[in-house]
């Protein structure tokens, strides 16, 4: 049974995908606490936001701010302590299987089977999404070509450079042609040229009407790519809006300074 | 459970076996080396050593090491974030555990085939017919189920692949010394009688002696190995779901 948020209760399936009501992700009062030996860590502390379909939405904040925890709740790896998270109309707590069919996840550290080659890695995940054989082959070739790994695709990934592994990490997240893509620090460790080229690729995904959730430390990345950003600090959402509007609101030239004005510290201090 | 997912995961597991030297050694080369070594060292009836007596134990012995490979593999994949990534797909735990069980049954069957062929080469005499040999393979496949379960239990309580290798000997050593080819004393028999490998060795000894496959002894051993293996693998899966996948 499909569980929808109250907002969707009175809507038909078509309504949900109607551009006028195009909410891809709806998060309400989301909390995730981890109980330690001596204290409870509030990794996510009551955040609420919405992401529209086709939007490239950035999560910005220092290490430990709660970005990855929020993403892990949205993709079903973690259960929230409190609050709700609705992905494409499906509650992550009640209809996780359906959510997993609609998403693609690119984790922070490349999670790749090193004894397989690039093609085998991508096809493994495509098979887990039950993709038809022909479609899987075609899409694998397409991704390998677009991200410049076609030549190396039959080599075991054990010998790949960091940049190649990151690109493969991204391809695996996209193999099932997901409606929503979670990109957790996708360009960490890439050289500037590879980073630029990955930005272009991520930007091009917007043309395919995918909703992209991007977490990043790189201010430049967020400014260049994101339609809107949410700034998170100590598990709380401290600001949300388009990079341009936020910079106008705080009368600054970049998002780093916005963050500094709000929190009194630099985003990179947490790294 | 979806066949496409299970087949993809089994293929991946078997590629790991072929392409990772450590796994290849532990799963296929180790039983071969062991059989050849034991065949050469203990095949002297004049000294009262019978290789024929040892072969059923060697079958079980090879399969016991699946505990270590499963424990290492799960802890390693967990540490590298691979299990988490698999969990972000619509794959169910049934798909995943099913693929683990089937791939390890294939591995166990290959191990037995290697041990059996090399044993014959080393002069192993037996009175089993084709049905008996097939039953022996089936019993080993069941033992592999318990090895997967014990591997999962080990992975659940281990934080790294190194720890998992060490801890797996908690389950490997008793089965090695009290349940396979080493004769049991009155004291060690008490321990042996709770170990699946003891019943596997006992059943295989009866089969290779040419006993009727419907003999009470073989049936009791078969029933015990089946029940214990299923119970162990269920405990392993539940424990891994609760503790091991974090």
Over residues B134-151, the pLDDT tens digits come to: 999 999 999 999 999 999
- CA gap B12, B99 in Å, rounded: 10
Residues of A in contact with B9 (CB under 8 A): 124, 128
Length of chain A in residues, anyone? 271
- CA gap A48, A40 in Å, rounded: 21
**Structure tokens that stand for A98 in this block:** 């359906």
What is the structure's pLDDT at B245?
64
Average pLDDT over residues B87-109: 92
Q: Closest by alpha carbon to B115, among B165, B74, B191, B62?
A: B62
Q: How confident is the model at residue A11 (pLDDT cuts 50, 70, 90)?
A: very low
| Beta-strand relationship, A180-184 and A90-91 | unpaired
Contact status, residue A60 vs residue A231, Cβ threshold 8 Å: yes
- CA gap A249, B31 in Å, rounded: 71
Interface of A with B in 72-101 (CB under 8 A): 75-77, 97, 100-101
- CA gap A67, A53 in Å, rounded: 20
pLDDT in tens, B7-19: 999 999 999 999 9
DSSP letter for each residue of B83-112: HHHHHTSS--HHHHHHHHHHHHHHHHHHHH
Q: Which CATH architecture has domain A6-270?
A: 3-Layer(aba) Sandwich (3.40)
Residues of A in contact with B92 (CB under 8 A): 97
Q: What residue in B sits closest to A169 (Cα-Cα)?
A: B85
pLDDT in tens, A164-205: 899 999 999 999 999 999 999 888 877 888 888 888 888 888
Contact status, residue A29 vs residue A84, Cβ threshold 8 Å: yes
- CA gap B60, B87 in Å, rounded: 33
Please report, for chain B, the start and end positions of each structural domain, with discontinuous segments joined by +: 3-244
CB contact under 8 A, B19 and A115: yes
Location of structure tokens 């075609």:
A138
CB contact under 8 A, A127 and B15: no
* Secondary structure element (H or E) that encloses residue A84, with its range: strand A82-87
- CA gap B113, B153 in Å, rounded: 27
Of the listed ranges A19-23, A247-251, B199-203, B214-218, the least confidently predicted one is A19-23
Strand, helix or coil for residue A106: strand
CA torsion through residues B2, A154, B84, A192, sign: negative
Length of chain B in residues, anyone? 246
Contact status, residue A88 vs residue A29, Cβ threshold 8 Å: no
Residue A240: is its pLDDT beyond 90? yes
Average pLDDT over residues B212-235: 93
**Structure tokens that stand for B167 in this block:** 């801890």
What is the structure's pLDDT at A255?
82
Residue A6: is its pLDDT beyond 80? no
CB contact under 8 A, A130 and B91: no
Size of interface A-B (CB pairs under 8 A): 63
Alpha-carbon gap: A265 to the closest alpha carbon of chain B (Å): 31
Of the listed ranges A151-160, A216-225, B28-37, B147-156, the least confidently predicted one is A216-225
């Amino acid at each position: 049974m499909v569980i929808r948020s109250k907002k969707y209760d009175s809507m038909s399936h078509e309504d949900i995908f109607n551009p006028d009501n195009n909410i891809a992700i709806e998060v309400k009062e989301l909390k995730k606490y981890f109980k330690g030996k001596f204290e409870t860590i509030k990794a996510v502390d009551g955040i609420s936001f919405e992401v529209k379909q086709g939007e490239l939405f950035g999560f910005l904040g220092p290490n430990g701010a709660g970005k990855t925890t929020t993403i892990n709740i949205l993709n079903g790896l973690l259960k929230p302590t409190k609050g709700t998270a609705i992905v494409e109309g499906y509650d992550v707590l009640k209809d996780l299987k359906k959510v997993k069919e609609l998403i693609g996840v690119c984790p922070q550290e490349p999670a790749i089977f090193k004894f397989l080659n690039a093609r085998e890695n991508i096809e493994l995940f495509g098979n887990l999404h039950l993709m038809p054989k022909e479609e899987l082959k075609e899409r694998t070739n397409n991704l390998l070509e677009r991200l410049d790994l076609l030549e190396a695709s039959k080599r075991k990934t054990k010998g790949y450079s960091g940049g190649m592994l990151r690109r493969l990490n991204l391809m695996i997240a996209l193999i099932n042609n997901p409606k929503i893509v979670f990109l957790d620090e996708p360009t960490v460790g890439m050289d500037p040229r590879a980073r630029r080229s990955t930005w272009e690729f991520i930007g091009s995904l917007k043309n395919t009407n995918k909703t992209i959730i991007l977490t990043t430390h790189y201010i430049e990345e967020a400014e260049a790519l994101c339609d809107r950003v949410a700034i998170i600090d100590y598990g709380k959402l401290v600001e949300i809006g388009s990079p341009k509007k936020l910079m106008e609101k705080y009368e600054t030239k970049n998002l780093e300074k916005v963050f500094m004005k709000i929190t009194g510290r630099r985003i990179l201090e947490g790294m | 459970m979806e066949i496409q997912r299970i087949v993809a995961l089994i293929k991946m597991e078997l590629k790991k076996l072929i392409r990772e030297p450590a796994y290849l050694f532990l799963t296929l080369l180790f039983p071969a080396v062991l059989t050849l070594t034991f065949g050469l060292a203990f095949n002297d009836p004049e000294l009262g050593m019978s290789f024929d007596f040892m072969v059923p134990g060697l079958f079980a012995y090879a399969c016991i090491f699946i505990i270590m490979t499963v424990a290492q593999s799960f802890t390693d994949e967990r540490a590298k974030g691979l299990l988490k990534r698999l969990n972000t797909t619509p794959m169910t735990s049934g798909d995943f555990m099913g693929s683990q069980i089937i791939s390890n049954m294939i591995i166990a069957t290959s191990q037995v085939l290697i041990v059996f062929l090399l044993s014959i080469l080393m002069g192993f005499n037996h009175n089993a017919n084709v049905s008996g040999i097939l039953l022996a393979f089936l019993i080993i496949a069941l033992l592999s189920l318990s090895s997967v379960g014990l591997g999962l239990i080990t992975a659940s309580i281990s934080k790294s692949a190194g720890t998992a290798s060490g801890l797996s000997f908690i389950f490997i050593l008793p089965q090695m010394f009290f349940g396979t080819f080493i004769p049991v004393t009155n004291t060690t028999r008490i321990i042996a009688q709770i170990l699946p490998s003891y019943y596997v060795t006992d059943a295989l000894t009866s089969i290779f002696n040419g006993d009727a496959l419907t003999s009470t002894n073989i049936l009791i051993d078969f029933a015990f190995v089946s029940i214990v293996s299923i119970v162990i693998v269920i405990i392993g899966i539940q424990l891994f779901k609760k503790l091991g996948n974090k």
